[in-house]
Structure 1
Amino acid sequence: MAAILHRKVPFFPSILLRIRPFSALPESEHLPPPDQIDQTPPTDTKHPLDRLQLSIRSESNPERVAELFLSSKNIHRFYSSRPLFSLTVRKLSRARRPDLIRRVLDPFITDPNSPKSEGFLARILSLYSSAGLPDAAKEAFCHPSPFKRSDLSFSALLSAYMHSGRYGELKSTFEEAASKFNITPGLVPHTILLSGLCENGEIGDARKLLGEMSSRENDRPEPNIISYNTVLCGCLKKGEDGLFDEILKEIEDRNLEPNVVTFNCRIARFCNIGESVKAEELLDVMCSRGIQPSVSTFYNLIHGYCKENKVDLAVKMFQKMKVAKRRSGSDGVSPNADIYIVLVKNLIEKEQFDDASWICIEGMARKILLPFKDVKCIVEGLMKESKLEKAKDLVEKMRKVLKGDASDAWEKIIGGVSLEAITSSQMSGQGQ
C-alpha cells in the first residue's frame, strides 16, 4: 500500500510529509528564485524527450511551453514521460495560466491515441490537483470515457479536493462513492478523508472514523500506521494532547510499527513545549531501531533548541544531521532552506557571526541562499569584529553565485558595506 501511495499517484496526504513546530512559518519564499542563482547547466542528451524537456525548462513564454508540449505527442515514450508532464504543468502553474494547463491536459481524456489505463487517468487527475484545478479533475473523472475507475483514480480525485482545501466536497464525494460511482472506498481513500478532516480541524470526526476503521464497522478497511499517523499529526496541529497520547497508546496496543512520521510527531511535540533534550533522546531511539531520520526530524530539533535559546546545541544538531547514517550506507541528511534560515537568524541574534558565516557559505554551495538582509548582518558583524577577510570572502561569494535581478538586489542591499568598503577598512587597519 505504501508503494501505491508514493509511486502511482502523488496524492500522499501533505500533513504527513512535513511535521514541524506549527507556530513556525517557512521563510524560504524570501530567497531569490532558482533561475537567479548561478547553476551548472544540465548536460544535453540526444534523446528527443530530453531535448524537449530542456527546451521547455528554458522557455519563459507559457504559450510556447504549451505549444512545445502539444507538438511532441508522436515522440516515442511521450505518454510515459512523467517528468515531462510534471515540468510542463509546473511551468504553466507558475505562470498562472490555468487555461493553458487545461489546453494541454483536457484532450488526453478524449484522445483515442492516449493510454486508456486507469494509471494514466490518475496521473492526469493528480496533475490537475497539483495545479489547483479540482473542478477539472472532477470533469475528467466523471467524463464518459473508456477509462476504468476504481480506488486509484478515485483517490486522485479526492486528493484534488483536499489539496485545494475544499473539504466539504471531499467528504460529499467520498460519501457518494458507492451510489454515484459504484466504488467501495479502500484504505487509501479513507486515509485521504482522514487527512482532509484533520487539515480542516475536524479532529473529533477524524478520531471517530479511525475508530470505525479499527473496529471494522460498516465494512471499513483496517487502518495501518499511515492512518494513525494522519490523526496523530492532526492532534499535534490542533494541540489535542490527550487525544495525541490516546492515539500513541492505540498504535502500541495494535502492535503497529512506528515509522519516521510517528517519531517526527513525537519529536515536534517535545520541541513545541520546550523539551528538545527529550526530543533528541527520541532521535537516538529511532536511529537505534534503524529508522532513518528525515529533514523534518532535524528541523524540529534545530528550531526547538533555538526557541529554547540553546543555539550552540542547534549548531551541533546541524552538524549531526550531516553525518547521520542513511540506509544506503552513505552519510548525511541534506538541510533545506528553512533549516539554514532559522539557524543563521538565531546565530545573528547571538552575535555568533563566525558560525553564521560558514553556515551561510555552506548553504551557497548547496544553491541555497539566505535572505539578503541576514547576509548583510553577517558581513557587518564580521567587520565589527575586525574579521575583514571573512567579510570580504562572504561578499565575493555572494557576487559569484548571483545573477540578473538577484545580483542587482544584492548590490543595493550591501550598499555601504560593499567589497570596496571592506578593502578600505582593511587597508586603514593595516596603516595603523
Structure 2
Amino acid sequence: MAASLLRRNPRFTSIPLSLRFSTLSTPSSSNPRSPSSLDSISRVKSAIRSELDPDRIATLFESSSHEPSFYGDRLIYSIAVRKLWRSRRPDLIRRVLDHQLSHPSTPKSEAFFVRTLLLFSESGLLDDAVATFHRIPSPRTDRSFSALLSAFLDNQQVQRLRESFVSIPKELGVSPGVSSYNVLIKSHCVDGDLSAARQVLDEMRERGIDPNIVSYNTLLDGYSKKGDAFGFEEILGEIKSRGLDFNLVTYNCRLSALCAQGKSSEAEELLDVMVSNGLKPNRISFDAVIDGFCKEGNVKSALRVFTRMRSGKKGNEAGDEAGGENDIVLPSSKTYSKLIRSLVQKEELELALDISKECLEKKWTPPFDAMKGLVNGLVKNSQIDLAKGILKKMRKGLRGDAIDAWKKVEGALQL
C-alpha cells in the first residue's frame, strides 16, 4: 500500500524503499541516526503536512512511526491526527495510534502514553483515551491521572471525572496531586458550583497538598464568569496572602473582571502594571480591554488599545518608548469585528471603513450587520464611491455560502 501511495504521488518517489516498507521491517533494519534516514523522515513529515487523502496520511504515518526522529516530534502527531479528525476518520486515528502503542520500537514511558491519551481525547475518542490510561505501565503518577481527568472534562463527562477521582486511586494506587485536584476544581467551576470548588481547596490542604497559582486562577475565572465580584476579590486576597506570584492568567482574569464592572480604564492601567512586572500582555489581555471599552461606548479608547496592541507600545501615549517585535500582538478576526461594529454604531464611518479594509486584506469577513450599517451610512453621507468600493471588496473576499448570504444583505442596502 505504501509503495502504491508513493507511486501515485511523484513528489515522494525519492523516499528509499527501506523507508517505504519500514512497517514490515524490524527496528534494526535501518539506522535512524544516519543522515539519509533523517532526510527520509523529513520527507515523510512534509508529505503528511501536504497530503489530503486520509488513507495516505495513515500509511505515511505508519511507515515511519518506529523512527525516533518521527515519534519524538509532537507537532507531526498533532497535525496528522487533526487532519484525520477533519476527514471524519476515527478508524484511522485508532489505527495509527494503536499501532504506535503496540510497536516494539516506540517508547513505553508514561509521557508517551499521556501524549497518545490526549490525542484520543482531542479527537472525541474518550473510551480509547481511557483504555490508553489503563495500558500505562505501573506505577502511574499524577501526570497520567490528571491527563485522564482532563479527557473526561474536555469531553463533558464530568460525572465520570468525579467518579474516577474517587475510584482509580483505590483501584490502581495512584495518588492525586495538585494537577489532578486542579482538574477537579475546574469541573466544579464549569458547573458553576464555586462553593464545591472552594471545598476542594480545603481538601487539598488537609491532605498536605498546597494549591498553586493554577488552582486559584481557575477559581478566579469561575467567579469572573459568574459576576461574583466579592468572591473574586476574596480569592485574589488569598493569592496575595499566600505569597503566590500573579502570572499572565491571573492578570487576564483581573482584566476581564474589571471590564465586566465597567472599569475598562482601570483595566488599561493594569496592562502597564503587567509590563512593569515583566509580563507581556497577550491577545486575551488586549481583547478584554478592547471589548470592555466597546461595550462602554468608548470606541476611541478601544482604538487606542488596538493601536498599542499592534505597535508593541509599552505605554498609552504616542511618545512612549516602543517595544521590539516580540511585544507586538496580532489581533484576531474577532478583534476587528468588535471594533467595526462599535465604530459603525458610533457613526465613525471613516475609521470603520479603514478597519474594514484592513480586515478584508487579511481575508477575514467582517460582520454582515456592521458592513450593512457602514454602507448605508456612507450612502447617507453621499459617499457613494466609497460605499461601492467596500461592496466590491466584500464580494471579492467571500467564499462558499457566504456569497449568497451577502447578496441578500446587498438587496436590503440603500445603494
- TM category, shorter: 0.7 to 0.9
- Corresponding residue of 2:162: 171
Report the CA distance shift for 1:308/1:81 in structure 2 as closer, same or farther (over 3 A): same
- Three-state SS of the structure 2 residue aligned to 1:78 is helix
Mapping of 1:39-118 within 5 angstroms? 47-73=39-65, 77-118=69-110
Residue 332 (structure 2) pairs with residue 336 (structure 1):
yes
- Three-state SS of the structure 2 residue aligned to 1:258 is coil
Q: CA deviation at 1:344?
A: 1.1
CA distance in 2, matches of 1:86, 1:286: 33
Query: Could you tell me the percent identity over the aligned residues?
Result: 41
Mapping of 1:116-265 within 5 angstroms? 116-143=108-135, 146=137, 149-213=140-204, 216-219=205-208, 221-265=209-253
**Contact 2:395/2:403, CA 8 A, preserved across alignment:** no
CA distance in 1, matches of 2:42, 2:132: 28
Q: Which has the higher contact order (CA 8 A, sep 6+)?
A: 1
Q: Which residues of structure 2 form unaligned runs of 5+?
A: 1-37, 315-322
Amino acid in the other structure paired with 1:92: L
TM normalised by structure 1 equals 0.76
Report the CA distance shift for 1:137/1:74 in structure 2 as closer, same or farther (over 3 A): closer
Q: CA deviation at 1:250?
A: 0.7
**Contact 1:134/1:157, CA 8 A, preserved across alignment:** no
CA distance in 1, matches of 2:168, 2:73: 30
Q: CA deviation at 1:85?
A: 1.1
Q: CA deviation at 1:176?
A: 2.8
Q: CA deviation at 1:164?
A: 1.0
Q: CA deviation at 1:195?
A: 1.4
- Corresponding residue of 1:318: 306
Larger gyration radius, structure 1 or structure 2: 2
Mapping of 1:371-386 within 5 angstroms? 371-372=367-368, 374-386=370-382
Report the CA distance shift for 1:106/1:316 in structure 2 as closer, same or farther (over 3 A): same
- Three-state SS of the structure 1 residue aligned to 2:327 is coil
Q: CA deviation at 1:416?
A: 6.4
CA distance in 1, matches of 2:392, 2:405: 11
Q: CA deviation at 1:275?
A: 2.0
Report the CA distance shift for 1:287/1:141 in structure 2 as closer, same or farther (over 3 A): same
- Three-state SS of the structure 2 residue aligned to 1:106 is helix
- Corresponding residue of 1:352: 348
Amino acid in the other structure paired with 2:60: L
CA distance in 2, matches of 1:387, 1:47: 59
Report the CA distance shift for 1:74/1:229 in structure 2 as closer, same or farther (over 3 A): closer
Amino acid in the other structure paired with 1:354: E
Mapping of 1:386-401 within 5 angstroms? 386-388=382-384, 390-391=386-387, 393-395=389-391, 397-398=393-394
CA distance in 1, matches of 2:164, 2:108: 23
**Contact 2:48/2:80, CA 8 A, preserved across alignment:** yes
Report the CA distance shift for 1:318/1:49 in structure 2 as closer, same or farther (over 3 A): farther
CA distance in 2, matches of 1:66, 1:113: 18
Over the residues paired in the alignment, what is the CA RMSD in angstroms?
Answer: 3.0
- Three-state SS of the structure 2 residue aligned to 1:101 is helix
TM normalised by structure 2 equals 0.79
Q: How many residues align?
A: 370
CA distance in 2, matches of 1:137, 1:313: 47
Q: CA deviation at 1:97?
A: 3.0
- Three-state SS of the structure 2 residue aligned to 1:320 is helix
**Contact 2:133/2:148, CA 8 A, preserved across alignment:** yes
- Corresponding residue of 2:5: none
Report the CA distance shift for 1:94/1:164 in structure 2 as closer, same or farther (over 3 A): same
- Corresponding residue of 2:400: 405
CA distance in 2, matches of 1:242, 1:353: 40
CA distance in 1, matches of 2:411, 2:232: 52
**Contact 2:54/2:84, CA 8 A, preserved across alignment:** yes
Higher mean alpha-carbon deviation, 407-416 vs 359-368, is at 407-416
- Corresponding residue of 1:41: none
